[in-house]
Structure 1
Amino acid sequence: MKRLTMVLMDGGSGLNIMYTEKLDAMGVDRARIRPTEVPFHSIMPRKQAMLLGQIDLPVAFRGLSNYRMETLTFEVVGFHGTYHAILGRPCYAKFMAVPNYTYLKLKMSGLGRVITVNTSFQRAYKCEVKCCDHAVAIIASRELAAPRKEVAKEAPDPKRSTGSFKPVEGSKEVLIDLDNTEGKTMRIGTTLSSK
Structure 2
Amino acid sequence: MTKLGLEAKDLEPSRTVFHCIVPGLSYSPIGRIWLDVVDLSSAYHALLGRPALTKFMAIPHYAYLKMKLSGPKILITFVGDYSKSLECAQAGVRLAESLVIAEERRQLDRIVALANETPVVPVLANEPASRASFQPSRETRKVKLNPEDHSCSE
* TM-score between both structures, scaled by the size of structure 2: 0.49
Hey, which of these two has a bigger chunk of helix by percent? 2
Pair member with larger Rg: 2
Q: Which has the higher contact order (CA 8 A, sep 6+)?
A: 1
Say which structure is richer in strand.
Answer: 1
Q: TM-score, normalised by structure 1?
A: 0.42
